Structure 1
Amino acid sequence: MILVTGGRGFIGAHTVRALLDLGERCVLGQRAAGPPPALVSEREVREGRAVVEPMDCTDPGSVLAAGRRHRVTGIVHLAAAGMGASAPLDELSANAAGLFAVLRAAREWGAGRVVVASTIGVYAGVTDPVLREDAPLPVASPHAIPAGKKIAEVVADAAASSGLDVVAARIGAIWGPLGRPSSPFFAAPRLVHTAARHAMAAGGASVSASACAGETQAAGEGGVPGEAAPSYAEDAVDMCYARDCGRALALLQTTATLRHRTYNVGGGRAVANREVAAAIGRAVPGAAPALLPGRSQGAPAVDACLDISRLREDTGYAAEWDLDGAMTDYVGWLRAGNPR
C-alpha cells in the first residue's frame, strides 16, 4: 500500500484518488480524525483500497504503527504544520521532525520510494523566468514555507545518498476541489469561489459557508468586510489544477525508474488573472470579476513558470485539464454543494 501523509487534505486527497485510479491501495495518514475525503468512494473504503489511519508525523511511533497494520511499499509525504498556526521556528521544527519520522519509517519498512512535497517558492530570487530544477537556489527565503521546503530538500537529498529512493516535488499554485476558498499567494481560488457564490445566489440555491468564505475572507486585503480585495489583471503564477497535480504526484510515486531527484509539478506556464477572469466569465456568464489594470505593487515584471520537462519525459505526464475545462469542473463542484 502507498502511504499518503496528509491524505485527507487538499493535495493529498487528489493524490490518493490518482493512485487508486492507477490500481494502487492507499493508507491515508492524517492527524485529525474524520472520514475519507469526498474523492474516495464508500466501496473503495469497504474493500480496503483506501484506509484512513490516525497519524501524527512528528511522533515516530505514530508513523511506525501504520507499518505494523499495513505493508507500506511507498510514501507520498504531504503532511505539514498548519500555515501560520504556530511560530515560524515551531513550524520549521515540526515539519523537520515529520520528515525525519517518515524517512526513518521508510528505511525500516523497506519502502520503495518516498516522494516529498516541496514548493515553487524555493525559486524565490531566481532571475530566470523559466524555473528549472537545476537552477542554483538562494539560501534566503521570503517566507517560512519555502525555508522549510529547502530544509526538506537538503534532508531528502542526504537520505537518498544513504540508499533511500527519495524524490522532491516542487509544486506550483494548485487550485480546485477541496482547496482553500482564498489563498495568500494567488487570486484564482477567491475569484472562483466568489463567482460560484454569485451563481448560486442568482439561481436561488442555498449558499454554502465555504463559498461565502471566498468573499468574506478577503476583508483586510485592501477591501472592506464582505467585499473582495482588488486583483490585478497582469499578476500571474504557474497554476496547476488539483486533479492534474494529484496525478503527477501519483506518477512520481509509481513510475518504475526516475532519472532525477527533483521534479517540478505545475502547469508549465504562467496564467494571468485576466485569463482566470475570462474563464470564469465563460463558465458563469455575467460573473467575470472586475480586475485592476496592470500589476500589483511588488509583483515581478517578468512572469515565471515551472519547466516540467523532467516530469513529462520521465513519467509520461500530460495535463488533462485546460483552464476552461478546469474552471467548468470546479464551478460545477462548488455549485453542487460539495465541500469547498
Structure 2
Amino acid sequence: MAPIVFRGPSIFPGQPCAVAGRGGENGSICDRPGSGGRRCLPCRHGMRAPPQNEIDRSVKLRNPGASKEGAGHRVSAEASKSVSVVTGGSGFIGLSLVERLLQDREDVVIFDRSRPPAEAVAYLEGLPGKLTIVPGDVLDAARLGQCIDTFKPSCLVHGAAVTPNMQSERRDPALVLNVNVTGTVNVMEQARRRPGMQVICISSSGVYGDVAQRRDVVGDTVSELLPPAPTSLYAISKAAAEQAALRYRELFGMNIIVARVGVAFGPWERDTGVRDPLSVHLMLARLARQGARAILPRDLSKDWVYSRDVAAALAALKRASLLSSTTFNISGAAAWPASDFARRLASEFPSFEYRCRPTAEAPANIDLHGAKDRPVLDISRLRDEAGFVPRYGLDEAFTDYVAWMRRFEHWKQNMMLSS
C-alpha cells in the first residue's frame, strides 16, 4: 500500500490546493487524475483546499462510534479513529513505533522535518496500516495544529527531540532547549484543542541524572518515584518537558502520559544530525562491518532495551484500557555487558576484533556515555498497568539486529561510515 505523502506547506485547508498542484479560485475543478472532477473546497482565507476525499482517504476508522478509556480518561467517540500522529516519526524511536503501529493495521501520520530514508518508506508502505508523511517542525505550532485538525488523531505521540552530545550542547544550547521544551509546549497547546485525544510524551531515563553517583537511590533498581536530577542540557530539557506536559494534564484534564525510555539500540538507529550519542551497539556494529578493531574504555553493563521492545511498550501504553500512573520506565528485562554483544559480532564478522583495555598506543574508540554502571530501571509499573514484558534479550536482539542490518542497503552503507 503506497504511503500518502504531502509535500511542502500547501497540504492543509486554508492554503493553496496541494491536490490540483496549483493556485486557483474557490470552487474550481480539481484536475488531478482520480479526483472525479470534484470541486476544491473554499477555505476561510479564500484559497483552495484539498478535496475532502483526498484527506479522508488517509484516515481509516476502527470501531467508529465506540469509546475507550486510557490514562484515567474516557475518550470521546470522535477520538476512536485509529489514527496516530507521531512527531519525530522519522527518527530512531519514532520510526520504530511507526513500524509497529503499521504492522498492527493502524494508520499513522509522521510529522517531522525530515523524511525517512526512501528504503524505509518503501518497506513501510508494504505494511497493513496506512502511512501519511507530513513535513513539519514542532516549533511551528500553527502547522502542527493544522495537521491535528486535518487528521483528527486519537493519539499523538510526541517524539521530536534534539539529542546532543556535550560538543553539540556547547555549539547550540538554545536549539536543544527550543526543540525539546518549546516544541513540547507547542504540542501540548495544540493537543488541548482536541479534548479526549491521548498524548504520549517520549522522555528519557536521562532525567534521573548520574544515578551511579546519587545517594538517594535505594535498592538495585530505579523506579519512577525517584525524583529527576538531570545533569546534561538534554536531560534538563527532557525533565522540563515532562513537567510541562504533566502540568497541562492537571490544568486542562488532558489525557497525557510520559514514557521514559532507557538505553535503546536496534533497527532504524542512524546518524540523523540531531541525535549525536549513537548507541554502543551501533558503534560496535559499524566497526564489525568495517572489519576494524573496537576498543572499549571498560566493559559496561546496562539494561539495554531493543528498539522493537520500545515500540511494543509504547503501543501497549497506547492501548491500555486504564492507566492509573502518568509516568512509565521503558527498559530491558535484565542487564548484560557490552562485551557479550561484541563477542557475538566477532563470531558473525571474523575480521572484527574487540577489547576492553585501551592503551596509550590504542585508545578507546567506543564512547560508553558514562563512567560507571547504574542500577537497572524498574519496569514493574509498565508490566502491571500495560501488560508489557520485553521480548528481546541479548540473543534474540542480536539475531534480529544482524538480519535487519543485512536486509536494508541504506543501513549497510550507514554501517560503513566512520565511527
TM above 0.5: yes
State how far apart, in whole Å, the 2-side matches of 1:332 and 1:101 are.
Answer: 39
State how far apart, in whole Å, the 2-side matches of 1:337 and 1:52 are.
Answer: 21
Letter in 2 for 1:105: Q
Partner of 1:264: 329
- Identical pairs, percent: 29
TM-score, length-scaled by structure 1: 0.81
3-state secondary structure, aligned to 1:75: strand
State how far apart, in whole Å, the 1-side matches of 2:329 and 2:224 are.
Answer: 7
Residue 22, structure 1, aligned to residue 107, structure 2: no
Query: Which deviates further from its counterpart, 312-321 or 271-280?
Result: 271-280
Partner of 2:371: 299
Partner of 1:10: 92
Q: Contact conserved, 2:117 with 2:410, CA < 8 A, in 1?
A: no
Q: Contact conserved, 2:267 with 2:307, CA < 8 A, in 1?
A: yes
Partner of 1:290: 355
Aligned residues: 306
Q: Which runs of 5+ in 2 are unaligned?
A: 1-82, 359-363, 412-419
Partner of 1:161: 250
State how far apart, in whole Å, the 2-side matches of 1:115 and 1:297 are.
Answer: 26
State how far apart, in whole Å, the 2-side matches of 1:161 and 1:316 are.
Answer: 25
Q: 1:37 to 1:239 in 2, by over 3 A?
A: farther
Q: 1:299 to 1:23 in 2, by over 3 A?
A: same
Residue 135, structure 1, aligned to residue 200, structure 2: no
3-state secondary structure, aligned to 1:110: coil
Q: Contact conserved, 1:268 with 1:307, CA < 8 A, in 2?
A: no
Query: Equivalent of 1:77, from 158, 164, 182?
Result: 158
Residue 317, structure 1, aligned to residue 388, structure 2: yes
Partner of 1:275: 340
Q: 1:23 to 1:156 in 2, by over 3 A?
A: same
Letter in 1 for 2:234: I
State how far apart, in whole Å, the 1-side matches of 2:276 and 2:347 are.
Answer: 23
Partner of 1:191: 284
Q: Contact conserved, 1:72 with 1:109, CA < 8 A, in 2?
A: no
Q: Contact conserved, 1:8 with 1:36, CA < 8 A, in 2?
A: no
Q: 1:100 to 1:330 in 2, by over 3 A?
A: same
3-state secondary structure, aligned to 2:410: coil
TM-score, length-scaled by structure 2: 0.66
Q: 1:35 to 1:108 in 2, by over 3 A?
A: farther
1:282 Cα deviation from its structure 2 partner: 4.4
Q: 1:196 to 1:325 in 2, by over 3 A?
A: farther
Q: Contact conserved, 2:88 with 2:112, CA < 8 A, in 1?
A: yes
Partner of 1:145: 234
Q: Contact conserved, 1:283 with 1:324, CA < 8 A, in 2?
A: no
Q: 1:252 to 1:298 in 2, by over 3 A?
A: closer
Partner of 2:268: 178
1:111-126 correspondence runs (5 A): 111-126=196-211
| Cα deviations by residue, 1:258-295 (Å, 9 ceiling, x for unpaired) | 111110011143332222223323444563522228x9
Q: Which has the higher contact order (CA 8 A, sep 6+)?
A: 1
* RMSD, aligned CA: 2.7
Query: Equivalent of 1:244, from 309, 325, 337?
Result: 309
Partner of 1:59: 140
Letter in 2 for 1:94: V
1:326-337 correspondence runs (5 A): 326-337=397-408
1:29 Cα deviation from its structure 2 partner: 0.6
State how far apart, in whole Å, the 1-side matches of 2:227 and 2:147 are.
Answer: 37
3-state secondary structure, aligned to 1:109: coil
Q: 1:57 to 1:29 in 2, by over 3 A?
A: same
Residue 104, structure 1, aligned to residue 189, structure 2: yes
Q: 1:143 to 1:134 in 2, by over 3 A?
A: same
Partner of 2:124: 41
Q: 1:19 to 1:285 in 2, by over 3 A?
A: same
Q: 1:256 to 1:283 in 2, by over 3 A?
A: farther
Partner of 1:231: 296
Q: 1:79 to 1:142 in 2, by over 3 A?
A: same
